[in-house]
C-alpha cells in the first residue's frame, strides 16, 4: 500500500512539473525539421533558430555544417516570410517581453539565470551566439545572438533583438535589412 501511495505522489508531481514547463515540439511540414518550443506567459516560442532553407538570402556558417545547431541567417525581407504556417516572426514588442524577463534574471546576477555561461539556456531559450552576416562576412560569432523582429519602422531598416555576452547587452535596435540574422518564430 505504501508503494502505491508513493507511486501516486511521484506521478502527480511529475505530471505537475511536466505541465508547468509547457515544453512542446513542432515539426515543420515544409522540410520535416523538428523544433523544440516553450510557452513563456501566453506566448509559444521556438527555442531553436529556424533552419528552413529559402530559395535565396539565407545562409549557414561553413555552408551547411552548422545549420543544425545554429540555424540559418536570413535577410529581413526573407525572414519576414520564413516562419511556417500558424507561426510568425516576432514583433519588437514580443521580443521586448522576453527581454524584460531576461533582464530581470540575468542583469540582477541570479545564479539560475543561464547556468554556467551566457551560451546556456536562458528561460530554456537555448541561445546560440552565432553573430550576424554583413556582406560576405560572418561577424561576432561566439559573442552575440541576433534575431530579426517583424517591426520595420523605415524602408531600409528593421528592428532586431540582441543578446550579447561580451558587451552584456540585451535589447532591441534597428539595422539595415540586408544583414543576415537568425529567426525565432512565435505561434500565432
d(CA 107, CA 100): 10
What is the count of structural domains for the chain?
1
- Give per-residue pLDDT as tens, 83-101: 999 999 999 999 998 887 6
Q: Which helix (H) or strand (E) holds 79?
A: helix 76-79
Assigned domain for 150 exists = yes
- Give per-residue pLDDT as tens, 22-54: 678 999 999 999 999 988 878 899 999 999 999
Assigned domain for 19 exists = no
pLDDT of residue 6: 39
Angle of CA points 72, 81, 68, to nearest 5°? 20
d(CA 163, CA 145): 5
Assigned domain for 28 exists = no
pTM of the entire predicted model: 0.79
- Domain residue limits at 144: 39-187
Using alpha carbons, select from 32, 33, 149, 42 the residue that is nearest to residue 88: 149
Assigned domain for 155 exists = yes
Assigned domain for 127 exists = yes
Assigned domain for 18 exists = no
20-24 contact pairs (CB < 8 A, 24+): 21/124, 23/124
Amino acid at each position: 500500500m505504501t508503494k502505491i501511495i508513493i507511486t501516486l505522489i511521484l506521478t502527480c508531481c511529475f505530471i505537475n512539473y511536466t505541465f508547468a514547463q509547457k515544453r512542446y515540439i513542432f515539426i515543420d511540414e515544409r522540410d520535416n525539421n523538428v523544433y523544440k518550443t516553450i510557452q513563456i506567459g501566453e506566448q509559444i516560442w521556438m527555442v531553436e533558430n529556424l533552419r528552413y532553407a529559402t530559395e535565396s538570402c539565407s545562409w549557414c556558417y561553413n555552408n551547411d555544417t552548422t545549420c543544425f545547431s545554429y540555424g540559418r541567417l536570413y535577410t529581413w525581407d526573407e525572414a519576414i516570410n520564413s516562419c511556417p504556417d500558424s507561426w510568425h516572426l516576432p514583433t519588437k514588442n514580443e521580443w521586448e517581453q522576453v527581454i524584460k524577463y531576461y533582464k530581470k534574471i540575468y542583469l540582477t546576477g541570479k545564479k539560475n539565470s543561464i547556468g554556467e555561461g551566457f551560451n546556456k539556456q536562458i528561460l530554456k531559450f537555448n541561445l546560440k551566439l552565432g553573430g550576424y552576416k554583413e556582406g560576405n562576412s560572418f561577424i561576432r560569432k561566439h559573442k552575440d545572438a541576433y534575431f530579426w523582429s517583424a517591426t520595420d519602422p523605415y524602408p531600409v531598416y528593421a528592428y532586431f533583438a540582441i543578446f550579447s555576452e561580451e558587451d552584456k547587452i540585451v535589447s532591441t535596435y534597428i539595422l539595415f535589412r540586408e544583414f543576415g540574422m537568425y529567426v525565432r518564430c512565435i505561434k500565432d
